[in-house]
Amino acid sequence: MEQIIQAGLIEEEPGLRTTAGRPSKVFRLADQSARVIGAVVDIRSCTIVSSGLSASVEDEWTIRFPTPNTYELLISKLAETIDELRSRHGAPCLGVGLSIPGLIDRRKGQVVFSPNLHFTDGQFPARDLERALGLETIMIQEEHALCLAEKTYGAARGISDFAIIDISSGLGMGVVSGGRYIDGHCGFGGELGHIPIVPDGPLCGCGRRGCLETLASDTAVSREISSILDRPAEIDEIVTLAKEYPEVVLPVLERAVHHLANGISIVVSIFNPSQVFIFGRMFDADPALFEKLNKEVSTRTIGPSFNECGLVRAHGDKQLGALAGIISRLFHSLGPRVQGP
């Protein structure tokens, strides 16, 4: 207990609680006396949040900016924004959780290959940000961040076997099996989005054609609708357009759902999850799309596996996952001393 207090991970709750006639101190996770940072790098935008150790995220402690177009600018903009949040609050900042897309070699802390953010290829973002800030920084692959968010704060609490399919930018997968995050030999596991589905299909960021993420992601839908409209259209606008011009938009969304159902049926058949969480916006366009997804997955998945699996929308996000990652690290780093004599 003393070590946890000294490390600044808990704080005294204002006021006293009396038990059996004797006043005693009440502690809670440090929310005002210490802060942590969750930083999310995505293809188009970055989001930085500052929170206490209960990970409650508020708008006034959230800053978003477009993802810079070089690695050096990315690190300097992240550091500058984190410093701004640190100085605005004033309480000691204990560390940074950094969510990053792409294939990450967890042994080296290196982004090895990022199909949709190539300027990070070969780079060490957590190391470089840590040097810029003088603050402990850990890197978390973005699908791992989603799993952490759902498991720590969302609908996967208490669930040992689940999968998250992230269709928000590219298409990624995170799997927790037997309570353990499954990412393979060195961290490259989960690349469902780069399984080729359609020969000679759309060009993918990985350099090949017809990968699942070019057909079944929010970005794939944006690309197709943009082509029809002959102007850029992001998924937020497409959700609105689907209600105004369903005859134009819904067929595109239904094709994406068809391809996504193929991917999900593979995941259900291989991993036997009890829940598959879908993280993305396209289903906001029409609730019937999620029913269609469920039906299509049911027709392509062996019966007993499908019957044991629920398909639901994800409620967590990568910011929460980045926060969960650094908060978990802070507590685990005290483990041996806390458990010692």
Of 206 and 225, the one with the shorter C-beta distance to Zn ion is: 206
Residue count, binding to Zn ion (CB under 5 A): 4
Site for Zn ion in 192-221 (CB under 5 A): 194, 204, 206, 211
**102, 173, 204, 222, 332 from 232: Cα distances, Å:** 24, 27, 18, 8, 45
For residue 91, give every residue at least 6 positions away whose Cβ sits within 8 Å of its Cβ, in sequence order, or none: 32, 33, 34, 35
CA 126 to chain centroid, in Å, comes to: 16
Of 35 and 194, the one with the shorter C-beta distance to Zn ion is: 194
CB of 208 to Zn ion, least distance (A): 5
**Residues 264, 283: Cα–Cα separation, whole Å:** 15
Nearest to 40 by CA among 98, 113, 111: 98
CB of 340 to Zn ion, least distance (A): 48
Using N-to-C axis directions, what is the helix angle for 318-332 and 142-153, rounded to 10°?
A: 80
CB of 220 to Zn ion, least distance (A): 11
Site track for Zn ion across 148-187, x = CB under 5 A: ----------------------------------------
CB of 189 to Zn ion, least distance (A): 15
Site track for Zn ion across 299-318, x = CB under 5 A: --------------------
Of 103 and 206, the one with the shorter C-beta distance to Zn ion is: 206
Of 30 and 103, the one with the shorter C-beta distance to Zn ion is: 103
CB of 202 to Zn ion, least distance (A): 10
Of 137 and 141, the one with the shorter C-beta distance to Zn ion is: 141
Using N-to-C axis directions, what is the helix angle for 71-89 and 125-133, rounded to 10°?
A: 40
CB of 323 to Zn ion, least distance (A): 30
Of 204 and 320, the one with the shorter C-beta distance to Zn ion is: 204
Of 148 and 204, the one with the shorter C-beta distance to Zn ion is: 204
CB of 88 to Zn ion, least distance (A): 40
| Tokens linked to 181 | 């995050």
Of 41 and 171, the one with the shorter C-beta distance to Zn ion is: 171
**Residue 233 near Zn ion by CB under 5 A:** no
CB of 115 to Zn ion, least distance (A): 6
Which residues make up the interface to Zn ion (CB under 5 A)? Answer: 194, 204, 206, 211
